[in-house]
Amino acid sequence: MIAIIANPKARRFSINKLMQIKKMLNLSFKKVDIYYTNKSYDGFTIANNISSNYEIVCSYGGDGTLNEVINGIVDKEVKLGILPCGTSDVFALELGISRDAIEAVKRLLNPKYIDVHLGRLNNRYFVLMAGVGIDAAAVLDVNHRLKEYSGKISYILSGIKSVMKFDKQISVQTPLGEKTCYSLIASNAKKYGGNFSVFNKANYLEKNLYICLFYSKKNLLGIVKSLIGLLLNIDSKLYECFIANEIFVKTDSIPIQVDGDFANFTPAHISASKKCIKVII
């Protein structure tokens, strides 16, 4: 038996495509059920309530929906299927899964599995990354109506705005000692913001996180240089990166994001969790 948790508000959601997916799955599974989310955290609530009844639970949405589903099944004996239809679908790209959900569903018909390690921010798990500071402020401030029409452009515009106005210093306790930065990302995956391999030493198959601290203040050029430097694997005084099992963000009231969704404010404990999920690839 297989369940699909679908987010009708996802940028590339298609009811026609979803019905086609159900028809394809009906050929191989005795029961195919679809559940729809209506608001934030519905993906978690639905997954948590139904997952013990299914062999596979699929997320049909973006990375935010995927994160909610993962948090709902993390302690259950169930496998995760990914049917992407979001703005960026970063984790699908990370795994080499097509962003065309019709192509992606074919993997469910002849499944192979991997164990993916999760990160954790306070009480919430993540599969991609946790961000504190500038990128989280961009997620918090993004115009959701604009996002529906322009997708990534809405995040870019919000990101530029956040860079120009965000100037809070963040105190972080790390294995290398206490550090002060203006933004940080704890990554469990190489890709960021789409098909960009920014964090090349991150590995979702291992129990650790790749931590990047950014030292550029109110400087769009500095942020661009930092991202280019990471893409090209160039050392720079603009940022510092290292592998760690945990860090503590001590400064209060800084926005946080996990897997591209706003996730409250600091302080925060970010760690590599012992938890894994089985993902169909």
Least trusted range by pLDDT, from 35-39, 65-69, 112-116, 140-144: 140-144
Integer Cα distance of 71 and 190 in angstroms: 21
pLDDT more than 90, % of the chain = 75
Rounded mean pLDDT, 97-125: 96
145: which residues sit within 8 A by CB, 6+ positions away? Answer: none
Residue 65's pLDDT is 97
pLDDT tens digits for range 81-107: 999 999 999 999 999 999 999 999 999
CA distance 42 to 65: 9
- The predicted model gives 172-182 an average pLDDT of 96
Q: What is the architecture of the domain spanning 2-111? A: 3-Layer(aba) Sandwich (3.40)
SS3 content of the chain, % helix, strand, coil (to 5): 30, 35, 35
According to DSSP, the residues that pair with 101 across neighbouring strands are none
151/89 Cα distance (integer angstroms)? 12
pTM, 2 dp: 0.89
Query: For residue 226, what pLDDT is reported?
Result: 82
163 has a pLDDT exceeding 90: no
Is 2-111's fold the same as 124-273's?
no
Choices 3.10.20.30, 3.40.50.280, 2.60.200.40, 3.40.1010.10: CATH for 124-273:
2.60.200.40
DSSP-derived letter for residue 145 is: H
Question: How many angstroms separate the CA atoms of 115 and 210, rounded?
Answer: 18
The pair of three-digit structure tokens given for residue 17, joined into one six-digit string: 């495509």
As given in the structure block, the two tokens for residue 70 are 């993962």
Assign 40 a pLDDT band (cuts: 50, 70, 90). Answer: very high
Looking at every residue in the chain, the average pLDDT score rounds to: 90
The span from the CA of 133 to the CA of 254, in Å, is: 6
Could you tell me the CA-to-CA distances from 179 to 44, 63, 199, 258 in Å, in that order?
A: 34, 30, 20, 21
The pair of structure tokens assigned to 188 is 């469990």
Question: Domain spans of the chain?
Answer: 2-111, 124-273
